[in-house]
Amino acid sequence: MLSSIVGIVLLVLHAAGVIAAMHAVMNTRTPQGAFAWALGLVLLPYITLIPYLYLGRSRFHGYVDLHRLRREQMQAMANTTLETAASPPWACERYGEIASLLHARFHPGQQLRLLVNGDATFNAILSAIGEARHCVLLQFFIIHDDGLGRRLQETLIERVRAGVEVCVLYDGIGSHALPHQYVDTLREAGVAIHPFATQRRSNRFQLNFRNHRKIVVIDGIRGFVGGLNVGDEYLGLKPPLAPWRDTHLQVDGPAVADLQRSFAEDWHWVTGALPPLRSPNPGTGHTHTLIAATGPADRQETCSLFFVALIHAARRRLWITTPYFVPDQAVMSALRLAVFRGVDVRVLIPSRPDHHAVFLASGLYAHDAVIAGIRVFRYQPGFLHEKVVLIDDDTASVGSMNLDNRSFRLNFEIGALNVGRQFATEVEAMLREDFSHAHEVTEAEYLKAPYMRRLAMHVARLFDPVL
């Protein structure tokens, strides 16, 4: 009797595995991912079926349709309310395909402030919120109920009591540990706060399509974007990853309108309404800035193509910092070609893991990169989480994008691509300091590693479509 029940269960699992494998073949974005899922689901459904429920979904419709419609409407609105900018200089025209791909544009006259760590970032953000007079738009992947989270909570409540409209978005999975009481306290005080999800009905089985963006907009005139979330670990207060190394950016000027528009698209999907929208100040600075908002709702794989275009634009120098170095074939090929052009290609990655599978896969990709002539460095003092790209002497990108499949195809991301020698010089000085605290990876790191660790690296890389 027991053996019959077990046989029936196994039969049902295999049947479900075959059905799921058909779904994977039809819907997974990459051939490698489709093959990996299909093989596992057919041969080992009792191991892979549950993970596929969480990680296998790669397409969705409701958000896609509304996202595209709303983006087109807001772009049309922006084109009628913002003054038409003069033709961008040649330095910006090098990135014309990015502007076309993202339906975005370079805004002249930006005033930028490089925020080189967590203290600088949140001192600036909390100060700006405290000075808000009309509205605050705030979006983070992670918000923790800890010291920094409570400082943010108190500041937002104080502004609401002063008559300021406050809208907050947080990712439902990234902020899964956020207590209901934290949210209820804000909501009862008058803060409009909602979790982001691509489906309006809750789905605990879906871990893909996370909103990894970090956006703060104050009164429509000052914006913040970068890699930091809200939590004490981002201030370097939680070992063993402390000190935490991260970077954020303050933007003043017309490009803030595009940060505001990105927030508005996500807010409209979640609430069905638009947040308060205000016009930015005219540009008085010297930098051209393009806001790159990417995600799985786009018609193209915009984040991967964004990196490919940046890499191809480099002629002398390409320095990249990323916590997760799991590039796809297009990005890895672009990096190799940059080396053949004589570009100084350097990649800075962590020496400590926060996600062990990603860390193992990154180690193997680092080995491949070193063989290809790409210089790879490991940051020593603490965990490296910054997402910065420096190109030649005039271009720097700061944002939320990692060099991994999640950012390339599964997450909603945002960054600021900035063209201007003064700002690039500031970024160069910051990165030189970072590289001074790193050691260079050689082939020996992989070759001298124990066999089981090398095997673990190769196994981890098999899962890079979902890392």
Q: Give me the active site residues, please.
A: 212, 214, 219, 385, 387, 392
Hey, how many other C-beta atoms are within 10 angstroms of the C-beta on 26?
9
Helices marked H in 131-255: 147-161, 180-189
Give kind and range of the element (H or E) at residue 365. helix 356-371
349 exposed, middle or buried (CB, 10 Å; 0-12, 13-18, 19+)? buried
DSSP notation for 96-154: HHHHHHHT--PEEEEEEEEE-SHHHHHHHHHHHHHT-SSEEEEEES-B-SSHHHHHHHH
Give kind and range of the element (H or E) at residue 18. helix 2-27
Tokens describing residue 146: 């800890």
Using the 8-state DSSP alphabet, how is residue 382 labeled? Answer: S
Q: Which amino acid is at 108?
A: P
> What is the rounded CA–CA span in Å between residue 415 and residue 280?
18
448 exposed, middle or buried (CB, 10 Å; 0-12, 13-18, 19+)? exposed
> What is the rounded CA–CA span in Å between residue 116 and residue 114?
6
The helix/strand/coil state of 13 is helix
> What is the rounded CA–CA span in Å between residue 234 and residue 393?
29
**What sign results for the dihedral spanned by CA atoms 324, 303, 80, 139?**
negative
Picking from 241, 197, 214, 251, the residue whose alpha carbon sits closest to that of residue 351 is 241
356-371 vs 451-462: helix axis angle to the nearest 10?
100
> What is the rounded CA–CA span in Å between residue 392 and residue 373?
18
